[in-house]
């Protein structure tokens, strides 16, 4: 009804940049502005749902209604291990080699 | 000003399932790098996780052992962070709805003092892979074998008041995990990992002080050392009028100190949300009861039984219940010999002595519990002496032969029959007139001489109890006569 007239900036450019950083995405200033406007468009559209009274409804995380889907603790051999490792950008023997990352550990 | 230490522990217990928590790849320790991988471990598109039922059973078992409430409706959550040891960019864990909550664990100090530590929660999650950092080549080497191996994270209340209590808590938790056979609890192999939250506050103050988190305590030897170092460090800051900074610190076992972890650029933002790939796990009461009915007796219960019903000392009871195999061995031995004290003594001193020398566990004992029980029955029945039994025991340990076979082969037999023993005593006294005269004139120590002579004559096989009895009778008769 009044989506356009009442649109709010729910997510600013700084927030878009923060999300990009968390997802390890490198985005330009122009991208950040464009995403901010896109994301705000989406959020404002969805905001319509806020009008519903959800007071007595518990959060829904799964829609298909199944539960207790198990595996037995039995080994299933996978024979294409080497194929997976062939997709790795760089290897050292059977290790996967990546640029030095010391973020959570010491020296 | 006096300060009180406040410690809460977060312990990760690696489960000893055959396979990973969400896929059929092997969860075995010690495989070659990246041997235990499959598309799910790699987080490849299109893969879907399916819960290993054994993980849920293990969580329920531990929850029951720690007197927790078991949650009926469970779901898994994604915890997002970027690190190469976690290819899909998030760890599957539980967030606001852990499977177990509000438990407690009884710990002991010096076998006597009892303390209760609250358990905040236990939740299921997957382990991450392993990184080896190489600063020289500016690279990290990743091994994903461990990625997806099941973990139970056990979070305690801040109820622990000293490094010694923390060590006891960890030991007790490990002991229970081993009794339940859900984990081997091997700290050196990373099956048990411990992070500690430590703070100090003026004694009597209710409000907690600023805490630090100490990570990387990777051996039982270091638990007390790491915590005592951190307690002393905080104490000296506070006594000097300074303030503790809230931070994560790493323990360095080489120097025995803790140092701050390189701080992250921004505080972690894990963006938890329910994992839509995994349907909810519903634990009905009937399932909990089924697990409960299959629970083994726990160490605390067995310890009480050994003390109260079988009359063992608290110390011996603690030693025997330290490992399930030990108390099982003891109980089987006791079943045969019905002499708890003797069984306890022989196991904790003779058997452990020889096992330790060979660096063997009780599971590899060359003497079975039944055989030891039989040997003890023979001592109690007066068939062989304690000294002979020790000889037989050592021989059995060395050769793996049964004690009965050794006794028979060596013709070992204690002489306790009066008709056999008395003539020997008489003969010794007859052939020692001088010593006998001296004895009667007051040199009572010569009694030992007669005992020694009889032992020599019987090659040590005289029943000492019977020998003493008969000797006294015989000496008395000769004195009066």
Is A19 domain-assigned? Answer: yes
Grade residue A104 by pLDDT with cuts at 50, 70 and 90. very low
Hey, are the CB atoms on A70 and B135 less than 8 Å from each other? no
Total structural domains in chain A? 1
Count of beta carbons in the 10 Å neighbourhood of residue B341: 13
Per-residue HEC secondary structure of chain B comes to CCEEEEEEEEEEEECCCCECCCCCCECCCCCCCCCCCCCCCCCCCCCCCCEEHHHHHHHHHHHHHCCCEECCEECCEEEECCCCCCCCCEEEECCCCCCEEEEEEEEEECCCEEEEEEEEEEEEEECCCEEEEECCCCEEEEECCCCCCEEEEEEECCCECCHHHHHHHHHHHHHHHHHCCCCCCCCCCCCEEEEEEEEEEECCCCCCCCCEEEEEECCHHHHHHHHHHHHHHHHHHHHCCCCCCCCEEEEECCCCEEEECCCCCCCCCCCCEECCCCCCEECCHHHHHHHHHCCCCCHHHHHHHHHHCCCCCHHHHHHHHCCHHHHHHHHHHHHHHCCHHHHHHHHHHHHHHHHHHCCCCHHHCCCCHHHHHHHHHHHHCCCCCHHHHHHHHHHHHHHCCCHHHHHHHHCCCCECCHHHHHHHHHHHHHCCHHHHHHHHCCCCCHHHHHHHHHHHHCCCCECHHHHHHHHHHHHHHHHHC
Hey, are the CB atoms on B50 and A69 less than 8 Å from each other? yes
Q: Strands B100-109, B90-93: parallel, antiparallel or unpaired by DSSP?
A: unpaired
State both tokens at A102: 């010391």
Q: What is the Cα–Cα distance from A101 to B134, expressed in whole angstroms?
A: 10
Q: What is the Cα–Cα distance from B186 to B199, expressed in whole angstroms?
A: 28
Report whether A107 contacts B135 (CB < 8 A). Answer: yes
Chain A positions with Cβ closer than 8 Å to B: 22, 24, 61-62, 64, 66-78, 81, 84-85, 92-107
Comparing CA positions, the residue from B250, B213, B12, B266 lying closest to residue A105 is B250
Residues 6+ apart with CB under 8 A from B106: B114, B115, B116, B172, B300
Set out the domains of chain B in order of their start, with CATH numbers: 3-287 (no CATH), 297-410 (no CATH), 418-480 (1.10.10.410)
Q: Is the pLDDT of residue A106 over 50?
A: no
Shortest distance, CA A4 to any CA of chain B (angstroms) = 30
The alpha-carbon radius of gyration of chain A (Å, integer) is 23
Hey, are the CB atoms on B139 and A102 less than 8 Å from each other? no
Structure ipTM: 0.84
The per-residue pLDDT for range B22-35, each reduced to its tens digit, is: 999 999 998 999 99
Report whether B68 contacts B100 (CB < 8 A). Answer: yes
* Residues of chain B with C-beta less than 8 angstroms from the C-beta of A62: 75, 274, 276, 279-280
Shortest distance, CA B32 to any CA of chain A (angstroms) = 8
> What is the DSSP code (8-state) at residue A85?
H
Rounded mean pLDDT of A46-70? 89
Hey, are the CB atoms on A71 and B24 less than 8 Å from each other? yes
Grade residue A7 by pLDDT with cuts at 50, 70 and 90. low
CATH number at residue A29: 1.10.20
Q: What is the Cα–Cα distance from B75 to B376, expressed in whole angstroms?
A: 55
Of B50, B82, B276, the CB nearest to A71: B50
Hey, are the CB atoms on A81 and B38 less than 8 Å from each other? yes
Rounded mean pLDDT of A7-18? 84
Q: What is the pLDDT of residue B378?
A: 87
CA distances from B228 to B97, B196, B243, B254, B446 (A): 34, 12, 18, 15, 59
Q: What is the pLDDT of residue A1?
A: 42
Angle between helices B386-399 and B369-380 (to 10 degrees): 160
Mean pLDDT of chain A: 85
* Residues of chain B with C-beta less than 8 angstroms from the C-beta of A74: 18-19, 24
Q: What is the pLDDT of residue B347?
A: 95
Is A29 domain-assigned? Answer: yes
Of B54, B261, B279, the CB nearest to A62: B279
Shortest distance, CA B30 to any CA of chain A (angstroms) = 14
CA angle A50, A51, A54 (to 5 degrees): 70
Grade residue A75 by pLDDT with cuts at 50, 70 and 90. very high
Hey, are the CB atoms on A104 and B83 less than 8 Å from each other? yes
Report whether B275 contacts B229 (CB < 8 A). Answer: no
Please tell me the least confidently modeled range out of A19-28, A33-42, B188-197, B331-340.
A19-28
- The count of CB pairs under 8 A between chains A and B is 141
Q: Is the pLDDT of residue A3 over 50?
A: no
Grade residue A107 by pLDDT with cuts at 50, 70 and 90. very low
Considering only alpha carbons, which residue of chain B is nearest residue A93? B33
Domain with A36, as residue range(s), is: 1-51
Shortest distance, CA A7 to any CA of chain B (angstroms) = 26
* Residues of chain B with C-beta less than 8 angstroms from the C-beta of A100: 133-135, 138-140
Grade residue A2 by pLDDT with cuts at 50, 70 and 90. very low
Question: With a cut of 50, which residues of chain B have pLDDT below it?
Answer: 265-266
């Amino acid at each position: 009804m009044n989506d356009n007239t009442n649109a709010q900036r729910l997510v600013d450019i700084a927030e878009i940049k923060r999300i990009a950083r968390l997802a390890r995405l490198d985005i330009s200033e122009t991208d950040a502005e464009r995403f901010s406007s896109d994301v705000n468009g989406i959020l404002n559209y969805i905001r319509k749902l806020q009008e519903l009274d959800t007071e007595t409804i518990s959060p829904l995380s799964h829609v298909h209604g199944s539960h207790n889907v198990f595996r037995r603790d039995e080994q299933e051999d996978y024979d294409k291990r080497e194929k997976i490792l062939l997709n790795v950008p760089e290897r050292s023997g059977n290790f996967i080699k990546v640029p030095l990352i010391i973020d959570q550990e010491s020296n | 000003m006096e300060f009180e230490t406040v410690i809460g522990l977060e312990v990760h217990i690696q489960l000893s399932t055959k396979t990973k928590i969400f896929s059929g790849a092997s969860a075995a320790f010690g495989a070659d790098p990246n041997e235990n991988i499959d598309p799910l471990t790699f987080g490849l598109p299109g893969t879907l996780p399916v819960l290993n039922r054994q993980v849920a059973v293990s969580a329920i078992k531990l929850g029951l052992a720690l007197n927790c409430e078991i949650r009926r409706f469970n779901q898994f959550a994604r915890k997002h962070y970027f690190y190469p040891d976690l290819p899909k960019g998030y760890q599957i864990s539980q967030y606001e709805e852990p499977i177990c909550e509000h438990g407690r664990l009884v710990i002991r100090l010096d076998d006597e003092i009892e303390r209760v530590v609250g358990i905040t929660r236990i939740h299921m999650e997957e382990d991450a892979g392993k990184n080896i950092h190489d600063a020289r080549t500016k690279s990290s080497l990743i091994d994903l074998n461990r990625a997806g191996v099941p973990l139970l994270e056990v979070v305690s209340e801040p109820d622990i008041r000293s490094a010694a209590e923390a060590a006891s808590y960890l030991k007790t938790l490990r002991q229970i995990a081993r009794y339940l056979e859900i984990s081997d609890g091997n700290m050196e192999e990373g099956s048990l990992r411990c992070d500690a939250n430590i703070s100090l506050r003026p004694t009597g103050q209710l409000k907690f002080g600023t805490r630090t988190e100490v990570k990387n305590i990777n051996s039982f030897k270091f638990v007390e050392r790491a915590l005592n170092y951190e307690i002393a460090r905080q104490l000296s800051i506070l006594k000097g009028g300074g303030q503790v900074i809230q931070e994560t610190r790493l323990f360095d076992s080489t120097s025995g100190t803790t140092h701050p972890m390189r701080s992250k650029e921004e505080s972690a933002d894990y963006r938890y949300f329910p994992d839509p790939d995994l349907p909810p796990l519903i634990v009905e009461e009937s399932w909990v009861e089924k697990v409960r009915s299959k629970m083994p007796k726990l160490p605390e219960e067995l310890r009480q039984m050994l003390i109260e019903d079988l009359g063992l000392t608290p110390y011996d009871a603690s030693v025997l219940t330290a490992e399930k195999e030990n108390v099982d061995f003891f109980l089987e031995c006791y079943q045969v010999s019905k002499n708890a004290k003797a069984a306890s003594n022989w196991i904790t001193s003779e058997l452990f002595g020889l096992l330790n020398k060979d660096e063997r566990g009780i599971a590899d004992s060359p003497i079975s519990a039944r055989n030891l029980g039989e040997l003890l029955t023979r001592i109690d029945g007066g068939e062989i002496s304690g000294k002979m039994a020790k000889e037989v025991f050592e021989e059995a340990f060395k050769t793996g032969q049964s004690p009965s076979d050794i006794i028979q082969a060596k013709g070992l037999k204690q002489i306790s029959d009066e008709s056999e023993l008395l003539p020997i005593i008489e003969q010794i006294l007859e052939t020692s007139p001088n010593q006998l005269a001296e004895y009667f004139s007051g040199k009572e120590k010569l009694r030992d001489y007669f005992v020694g002579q009889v032992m020599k004559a019987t090659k040590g096989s005289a029943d000492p109890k019977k020998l003493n009895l008969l000797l006294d009778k015989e000496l008395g008769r000769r004195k009066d006569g």
